[in-house]
Structure 1
Amino acid sequence: MPSKIFDVNTQLAFYGAYHSNKINVMIHMVFVPVLIWTFQVMASSLAVPSFIPEVHYTLNNYLRFDLNFAAIHAGLYIAYYFILEPTAALLYMPQAIISLLTATAYSKGSGHITNAAILHAGSWVAQFLGHGLAEGRAPALFDNLIGATVLAPFFVHLEIMFMLGYKPEMHKRLVNDVGKEIAKIRKAQGDKRRAAAAKSS
Structure 2
Amino acid sequence: MGKIGLLDLERHFAFYGSYHSNPVNVFIHMMFVWPIFFSALVLFYFTPALFDCPFKCRLGLVPNFGLIFTLLYALFYVSLDKKAGSLAAFLCLICWVSASLLAKNLGFSLAWKVALAVQLFCWTGQFIGHGVFEKRAPALLDNLVQALIMAPFFVLLEALQSFFGYEPYTGFHASVKAKIAAEIKNWQDKREKKGQ
TM-score normalised over the length of structure 1: 0.86
* Aligned position for 2:190: 188
Q: Structure 1 regions of 5+ residues with no counterpart?
A: 195-201
Deviation at 1:190, TM superposition (A): 1.7
Name the amino acid aligned to 2:34: P
Deviation at 1:64, TM superposition (A): 4.9
* Aligned position for 1:151: 150
Deviation at 1:14, TM superposition (A): 0.5
Q: How far apart in 2 are the matches of 1:66 and 1:92?
A: 21
* Aligned position for 1:35: 36
Is 1:91 aligned with 2:87? Answer: yes
Q: How far apart in 1 are the matches of 2:166 and 2:153?
A: 14
Q: Which has the larger radius of gyration?
A: 1
Q: Secondary structure at the match of 2:7?
A: coil
Q: C-alpha deviations, 1:87-107, integer Å up to 9, x for none?
A: 210122332121110001111
* Aligned position for 2:100: 104
Name the amino acid aligned to 2:51: P
Deviation at 1:47, TM superposition (A): 2.4
Structure richer in helix, relative to its length: 2
Q: How far apart in 1 are the matches of 2:94 and 2:187?
A: 37
Contact 1:56 1:66 (8 Å CA) reproduced: no
Q: 1:33 to 1:170 in 2, by over 3 A?
A: same
TM-score normalised over the length of structure 2: 0.88
Tell me the percent identity: 32
* Aligned position for 2:52: 54
RMSD: 1.9
* Aligned position for 1:120: 119
Q: Structure 2 regions of 5+ residues with no counterpart?
A: none
Deviation at 1:56, TM superposition (A): 5.3
